[in-house]
Amino acid sequence: MALKLTESEFEIERDPTKCISCRICIKQCANGVHEYNIDKDTIISDSKKCIGCHRCESMCPTGALKISERKAQFKTNANWSANHIRNIYKQADTGGVVLTGMGSDKSYPVYWDHILFNASQVTNPSIDPLREPMEIKTFIGRKDLKIEFEDDGEVGNIKLKTEVFPQLELSTPIIFSAMSYGSISYNACKCLAAAASEFGTYFNTGEGGLHKDLYQYADNAIVQVASGRFGVDVDYLNMGAAIEIKIGQGAKPGIGGHLPGGKVTGDISNTRMIPQGTDAISPAPHHDIYSIEDLAQLIHAIKEATEWQKPVGVKVAAVHNIAPVASGIARAGADFITIDGFRGGTGAAPLVIRDNVGIPIELAIASVDERLRDEGIRQDVSILAAGSIRSSADVIKAIALGADAVCIGTAALIALGCHLCQKCYTGKCNWGIATQDPYLTGRLNPETGTRRLLNLLRAWSLELKEMLGGAGINAIESLRGNREHLRGINLNDRELLILGIKHAGET
C-alpha cells in the first residue's frame, strides 16, 4: 500500500512582485526545493522537500521569500499531534527508527525560566563592574581542602608549598561543548578552537579526534575519549589541556555515538584513525567499564599516560540517579564531571530517546551539588553543566545552583548561523555547520565565525559581570552554589526542595 507522506511541513511563499529570478535560492537550498522552469521562465518550489532552515529566505536579495510552518496539515487534535501522525507514516513506510538533530523541542518545563536572580538594594551595595574589578575567572579541577605557603620572611617572597592538582584556567565560566569533527564541519571546528584559544577558554574535540591543522589550538582543547576510542593515542592524550571520558550525552542517554560510514571520508577518517567508509561505532557502554572501579581504572590509566599533568573528567547524561552516579565519578578520581541535561543538542539521535529520556540540567545540578556537599567531596571535583544553556542568565543561575562552569554547544552553533532546523543528521546543513559537503561548508567563513563566537563570549561575560555586580558580588567564586541568590516562581514545594531554593516573595 502506498501511503507516502504527501503533506509538506512548510509553506513557501514567493512574492512575484519582488522575485527577480536571480536563482540565488536555487543555489542556496541543498534540499533541491527550488527549481528554474524554462518554459514558464519562473522559479517553482516544491515545499514537500523543505525542512525549514530559512537559508533561502535569509539569502534572497529582494526579500521575496517567506518560509512558514504549514498550520493545517491534519485536522486539529490536542492528543494526536501532527508530529505523532507524521512519524507513524514514516515508520510504517520504512520500519525504521526516527532520527532527529539538536535538543528536544518538547514543552517540558524549563526551570531556568522559573528561577529569578537577586540584586542588592540599600543594605548591601551593588558594584559597578565598569568601575570596579569583577572576577569571573574560573578554575576547573580538583581543589585542595587546605593549601600551605612557604614564607621566608622576605617581602613578596611567598611560595606555594602545596602541590596543587592540575587545573584548567577559564577566563569566563563558559566552555564550548563537545562537538566532533564529522558531526560538524572543519570550519565550524576551527571557529570553536580559534575562539576558545583567543578568549582564554576551551573547546572540546568530541569523540572524533583532533584534526592536525587544529593542533595549534591544542592548549585550549579538551580531548575526548569515547568507547570507540576514535583518534585516541598517547600523543592525543598529551596534546590536550584536559581529557574527558565520554560515558553519555544528554540528548541520548544510554545510546552510543555512531557516525555512518558514508561520512567517514578523507580527513575525517584520518582524524578518527579509521579506514574510509566504515561505520564509526561508539556503543553506549564502554565494554571495559561496568562499574565505578572500572571507570577509576580508565581515569588512572589516562592519568598515568599523561603523567598526572592534566585534569581528567567524565561526561555523563543527566539521568534519574545522577547524584549517586556523580558521587561515584568523584570517588573514581575524576577532576571534573560534565553533566549534560536532557535538552542538550546532538548531531543525530533517535527522536524517541531525545524527547523522553533523562532529566533537566537545572534539577541535576542542584541534586548533584547537594549530594557532593553532603558527602564532603564537593571540592574533589568540578561540575560542568550542559544541556541547553541559552543565555548569560542561564549561566549565572547554573553557577548559583552549584555548577563551576557551563558548556555551550547549541548556543555556539546558533552564533555561527544555525537556525535550529534539527536536520543535522542529514549532512545537508545549509548553514555549513553540520555538513561535510565542501560546497556547503564554504558558507561558514572561519574568520567571521570566530569573531561571532568571540562576540558571544564577550557579551555573555559582560552580562555576567553586570548581574554579579548588581547582586553585590565581585567574584564568581562567591556565587557558586550560593542558592540564597535564587528564588523560584511558579514552582511547587517539591521542585523548590530539589532545587534548594525559596519561592519568590520569601526572604
User: Whole-angstrom distance between the N-terminal and C-terminal Cα of the chain?
Assistant: 65
Binding-site partner at residue 227 among ligand SF4, another protein, none, CB < 5 to 8 Å by type: another protein
Among 19, 59, 273, 292, binds another protein (CB under 8 A): 273
Do the strands 280-282 and 257-259 form a parallel or antiparallel pair, or are they unpaired? antiparallel
Give yes or no for residue 422 binding ligand SF4 (CB under 6 A): yes
Q: x/- contact string, 88-127, with another protein (CB under 8 A)?
A: --xx-xx-xxxx----------------------------
- In the block, cell 511541513 appears at 9
Q: Residue 164 gets which letter from DSSP?
A: P
* Cβ-based burial of 118 (10 A; exposed 0-12, middle 13-18, buried ≥19): middle
Interface size with ligand SF4, residues (CB under 6 A): 28
Lookup: cell for 441: 561548508
How far is the C-alpha of 51 from the C-alpha of 194, rounded, in Å? 31
Give the residues across from 66 on adjacent strands. 13
Give yes or no for residue 53 binding ligand SF4 (CB under 6 A): yes
Give yes or no for residue 306 binding another protein (CB under 8 A): yes
Q: How far is the CB of 356 from another protein (least distance, A)?
A: 17
Among 70, 300, 331, 428, binds another protein (CB under 8 A): 300
> 3-class secondary structure for 29-76?
CCCCCEEEECCCCEEEECHHHCCCCCHHHHHCCCCCEEEEECCCCCCC
User: Which of these, 177, 178, 184, lies nearest to 267 by C-alpha position?
Assistant: 184
Phi and psi angles of residue 289, each rounded to the nearest 5 degrees, phi first: -125, 100
Lookup: cell for 408: 555551550
Q: How far is the CB of 462 from another protein (least distance, A)?
A: 39
Stretch in the footprint of another protein (CB under 8 A) among 253-261, 385-393, 432-440, 488-496 = 253-261
Comparing CB distances to another protein, the nearer of 261 and 446 is 261
Helices (H), 162-265: 186-199, 234-239
- In the block, cell 598526572 appears at 308
- DSSP for 121-190? -SSS----TTTS--B--EEES---S---EEE-SSTT-EEE-S-PPP-EEESSSEEEPB--BTTB-HHHHH
Q: How far is the CB of 447 from another protein (least distance, A)?
A: 33
Task: Indicate the length of the chain as a whole number.
Answer: 507
Give yes or no for residue 341 binding ligand SF4 (CB under 6 A): no
**By CB under 8 A, what part of segment 22-51 binds another protein?**
none
Give yes or no for residue 6 binding another protein (CB under 8 A): no
The two most distant CA atoms of the chain are separated, in Å, by 92
How far is the C-alpha of 330 from the C-alpha of 333, rounded, in Å? 5
Binding-site partner at residue 305 among another protein, ligand SF4, none, CB < 5 to 8 Å by type: another protein
Lookup: cell for 53: 532552515
Give yes or no for residue 52 binding ligand SF4 (CB under 6 A): yes
Phi and psi angles of residue 83, each rounded to the nearest 5 degrees, phi first: -65, -45
Give kind and range of the element (H or E) at residue 246. Answer: strand 242-246
Stretch in the footprint of another protein (CB under 8 A) among 86-94, 186-194, 439-447, 492-500 = 86-94
Binding-site partner at residue 424 among ligand SF4, another protein, none, CB < 5 to 8 Å by type: ligand SF4
Interface size with another protein, residues (CB under 8 A): 42
Give yes or no for residue 288 binding another protein (CB under 8 A): yes
Strands (E), 324-441: 336-340, 349-350, 382-386, 405-408
Among 289, 401, 412, 413, binds ligand SF4 (CB under 6 A): 413
Comparing CB distances to ligand SF4, the nearer of 67 and 191 is 67
Stretch in the footprint of ligand SF4 (CB under 6 A) among 294-302, 322-330, 364-372, 422-430 = 422-430
- In the block, cell 509553506 appears at 11
- In the block, cell 546558533 appears at 414
Among 12, 188, 232, 359, binds another protein (CB under 8 A): 232
Comparing CB distances to ligand SF4, the nearer of 443 and 483 is 443
Comparing CB distances to another protein, the nearer of 126 and 270 is 270
**By CB under 6 A, what part of segment 65-124 binds ligand SF4?**
67, 101-102
Give yes or no for residue 29 binding ligand SF4 (CB under 6 A): yes
Give yes or no for residue 258 binding another protein (CB under 8 A): yes
Comparing CB distances to ligand SF4, the nearer of 52 and 311 is 52
Stretch in the footprint of another protein (CB under 8 A) among 151-159, 277-285, 410-418, 436-444 = 277-285
Task: Decide: 140 and 208 in contact? Cβ < 8 Å.
Answer: no
Comparing CB distances to ligand SF4, the nearer of 23 and 320 is 23
Task: Decide: 199 and 220 in contact? Cβ < 8 Å.
Answer: no
How far is the C-alpha of 182 from the C-alpha of 205, rounded, in Å? 11
Residues engaged in binding ligand SF4 (CB under 6 A): 12, 28-29, 31, 33, 50-56, 67, 101-102, 413, 418-424, 429-431, 433-434
Residues engaged in binding another protein (CB under 8 A): 87, 90-91, 93-94, 96-99, 227-229, 232-235, 237-238, 258, 260-262, 273-275, 277-279, 281, 283, 287-288, 297, 300-302, 304-309
